[in-house]
């Protein structure tokens, strides 16, 4: 079978015989892959002109719903992906991480749409006053870049590696060209075929290169984004490409790193923390046969516990059955290919010059249900380095397989220093029930790690573990880990958006952003805004309410109702040394009275009060002062119907500007209301 590339909206054969791809378990050739003949420049241009154009026209909410539809479609076909995944040497658990973990990223980023407006762009932060009288302000908007995200991925996660990135760029409104590692690209191809069959993505939103992508960076432009996951050496080579420098193309690098896990001094044998530490290290050594960029490579333990950890961990590793993942009882499959076996063997031999192997053998181990000589099998290898400050290869050489090294530390300072000697990692973990220890370690070590997990009995049951990057948390790390950042919820989406500062009058900026800015023109309407349906409301529509003069009785009555008898409200003799001139009205009374002034009580399109986003009390309100409200439509956010019977509605944000008899603002708040739509379809 010859893999095809998905380019320019069609499936294309690469020229020539192509590179043979092997079943990692049996060693049989299962496909060949070639990208020869593809015009990478034309592919990128197709993404910019077709994919970008279509995605940029969609709002964040529309893109999110598109991603959700795709996730549901792929989840229904997951067994097809599992069947192919076994050929990569992955067990069912390994495949679950890759397949359902990847699809889970689609679901996560689909849900993230609710944190963005139902617009094609994003308004970032608050307005910035730039003049004394408020007629000139600044703001920031973020729009999708008009380029293509070029994703160069590693071999270990053929599906997750693609979906964890494309979920983010699609939500942002940017198309992608995906280049999986050729050795396992046959699994990526299976999924992309299903994505193509679904017809859910617009043309140009996704393209696939199964063979070599050598030369693609020659065609990138300033609006493109390049991401890389893989070895640090390859990443550095790509990062230095002249075209990236000439065009100032953003390059995000997530490199394999020497991640570590630290056993806290309190986690002695017999404690739950000791047991969970052993379990965590074993899992990180054996899941995906140790082929994870987040796997634990360095195991740091108090010096008096080295032997205990060695014995306990060796005992657990001895229970790991190696072999064909489809055979019952097999706990660890194979590496992705024979070339990986040679690479890992070479690195183990290099490390063994400075430290000793205490469990495992590169040559003598048993394999269940498969031929050890034909498949890409390897034994877990556990090593001990007694002098990690002197024998430092362990902090520089990574064997990308089921290989890890135990090393001792005397005190917390040494543990921190050893963690730092990896020169930057994707993840570091500490197992301890001592929160002060956890705090001190985290604050000292955080500079060198992209993520830190503190594991103990309180969170063990629900913890996702050392090696699991989460969609809403950033994934990346400093130094050796590449210095990049991806995923991370809204943070990740913003990597694909251009932030632009805008300046002008409040009215103009309100029109550009479709969010009312303080000081902008207000459209005072005779029809109360609570009498209008969602579609009938316009940004800037304003109600000027009746006024109310605050009295001592108001303050006393509110104190009785609320139970808030704070001295500044109730004891005029206690105000010396405060900012108050006399007893002051409760801030929440001011807000509550404002609601009484701006609310239209009759039944209408407003369904309910949805919440309060912001509230500030900017000036004391004393008895005898008169307050009124300027009540303005600030922003509108459409909502999707959850079912046919659901009411079509949207969220309307109102600016509540409470002012006194001098016209000066005394309180500001943003309230959210749920408003019915005229169109119930």
Active-site residues: which are they?
254, 293
Residue 518's CB is within 10 A of a number of other CB atoms, namely 17
How far apart are alpha carbons 211 and 109 in whole angstroms?
29
Quickly tell me which residue has 């092997």 as its tokens: 22
How far apart are alpha carbons 674 and 672 in whole angstroms?
7
Q: Which two tokens stand for residue 673?
A: 């209301």
| Residue partners of 131: CB distance under 8 A and separation at least 6 | 137
Element (H, E) at 420: helix 412-420
401: left (phi over 0), alpha (psi -120 to 50) or beta: beta
How far apart are alpha carbons 671 and 674 in whole angstroms?
10
How far apart are alpha carbons 93 and 286 in whole angstroms?
11
- Give the DSSP per-residue string, 522-589: -EE-SS-GGGS-GGG--TTEEEE---EE--HHHHHHHHHHH----HHHH-GGG-TTSS-SS----HHH
- Paired residues of 361 in beta bridges: none
Q: At what angle do helices 60-75 and 185-198 cross, to 10 degrees?
A: 120
- Paired residues of 632 in beta bridges: 542, 655
Q: Which two tokens stand for residue 412?
A: 């917390």
Element (H, E) at 483: none
Nearest to 493 by CA among 67, 70, 47: 67
How far apart are alpha carbons 535 and 658 in whole angstroms?
26
Which regions of 279-395 does DSSP assign to beta strands (E)?
A: 298-302, 356-359, 381-384
598 DSSP 8-state letter? H
Provide the H-helix boundaries in 33-88: 40-46, 52-57, 60-75, 78-85
294 DSSP 8-state letter? T
How far apart are alpha carbons 264 and 301 in whole angstroms?
7
Nearest to 468 by CA among 431, 427, 438, 425: 427
How far apart are alpha carbons 432 and 476 in whole angstroms?
24
- Paired residues of 207 in beta bridges: 177
């Amino acid at each position: 079978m010859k893999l095809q590339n998905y380019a320019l909206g069609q499936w294309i054969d690469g020229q020539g015989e192509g590179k043979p791809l092997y079943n990692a378990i049996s060693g049989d050739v299962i496909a060949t892959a070639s990208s020869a003949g593809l015009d990478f420049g034309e592919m990128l241009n197709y993404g910019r002109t077709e994919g970008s154009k279509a995605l940029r026209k969609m709002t964040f909410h529309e893109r999110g719903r598109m991603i959700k539809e795709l996730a549901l479609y792929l989840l229904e076909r997951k067994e097809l992906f599992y069947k192919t995944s076994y050929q990569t040497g992955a067990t069912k658990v390994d495949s679950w991480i890759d397949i359902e973990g990847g699809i889970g990223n689609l679901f996560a980023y689909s849900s993230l749409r609710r944190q963005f407006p139902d617009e094609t762009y994003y308004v970032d932060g608050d307005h910035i006053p730039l003049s004394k009288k408020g007629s000139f302000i600044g703001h920031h908007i973020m729009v999708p870049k008009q380029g293509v995200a070029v994703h160069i991925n590693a071999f270990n996660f053929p599906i997750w590696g693609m979906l964890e990135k494309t979920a983010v760029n699609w939500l942002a409104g940017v198309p992608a060209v995906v280049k999986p590692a050729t050795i396992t690209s046959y699994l990526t191809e299976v999924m992309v075929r299903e994505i193509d069959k679904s017809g859910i993505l617009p043309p140009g939103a996704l393209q696939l290169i199964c063979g070599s992508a050598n030369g693609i960076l020659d065609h990138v432009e300033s609006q493109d984004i390049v991401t890389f996951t893989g070895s640090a050496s390859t990443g550095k080579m790509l990062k230095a490409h002249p075209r990236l420098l000439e065009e100032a193309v953003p390059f995000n690098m997530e490199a394999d790193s020497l991640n570590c896990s630290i056993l806290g001094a309190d986690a002695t044998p017999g404690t739950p923390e000791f047991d969970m530490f052993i379990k965590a290290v074993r899992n990180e050594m054996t899941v995906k046969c140790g082929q994870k960029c987040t796997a634990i490579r360095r195991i740091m333990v108090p010096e008096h516990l080295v032997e205990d950890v060695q014995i306990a961990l060796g005992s657990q590793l001895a229970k790991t059955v190696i072999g064909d993942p489809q055979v019952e009882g097999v706990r660890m499959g194979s590496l992705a290919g024979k070339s990986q076996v040679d690479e890992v063997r070479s690195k183990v031999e290099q490390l063994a010059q400075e430290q000793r192997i205490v469990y495992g053998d590169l040559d003598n181990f048993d394999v269940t249900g498969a031929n050890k000589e034909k498949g890409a099998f390897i034994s877990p290898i556990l090593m001990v380095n007694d002098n990690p400050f002197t024998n430092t290869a362990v902090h520089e050489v990574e064997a990308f397989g089921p290989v890890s090294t135990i090393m001792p530390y005397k005190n917390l300072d040494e543990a921190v220093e050893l963690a730092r000697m990896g020169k930057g990692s994707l993840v570091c973990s500490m197992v301890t029930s001592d929160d002060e220890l956890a705090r001190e370690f985290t604050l000292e070590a955080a500079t060198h790690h992209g993520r830190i997990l503190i594991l103990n009995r309180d969170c063990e049951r629900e913890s996702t573990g050392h090696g699991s990057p989460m969609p809403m948390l950033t994934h990346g790390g400093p130094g050796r880990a590449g210095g990049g950042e991806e995923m991370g919820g809204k943070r990740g989406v913003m990597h694909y958006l251009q932030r632009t500062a805008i300046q002008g009058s409040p009215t103009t900026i309100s029109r550009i952003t479709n969010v009312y800015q303080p000081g902008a023109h207000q459209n005072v309407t005779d029809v109360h805004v609570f009498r209008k349906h969602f579609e009938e409301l316009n940004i800037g529509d304003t109600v000027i309410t009746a006024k109310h003069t605050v009295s001592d009785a108001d303050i006393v009555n509110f104190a009785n109702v609320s139970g808030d008898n704070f001295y500044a409200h109730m004891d005029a003799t206690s105000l010396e040394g405060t900012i108050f001139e006399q007893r002051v009205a409760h801030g929440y009374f001011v807000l509550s009275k404002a609601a009484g002034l701006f609310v239209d009580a009759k039944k209408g399109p407003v369904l309910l009060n949805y919440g309060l986003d912001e509230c500030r009390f900017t000036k004391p309100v004393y008895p005898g002062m008169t307050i009124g409200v300027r009540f303005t439509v600030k922003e509108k956010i459409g909502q999707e119907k959850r079912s046919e019977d659901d009411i079509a509605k949207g969220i309307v944000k109102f600016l509540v500007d409470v002012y006194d008899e001098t016209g000066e603002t005394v309180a500001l708040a943003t309230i959210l209301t749920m408003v019915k739509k005229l169109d119930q379809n």
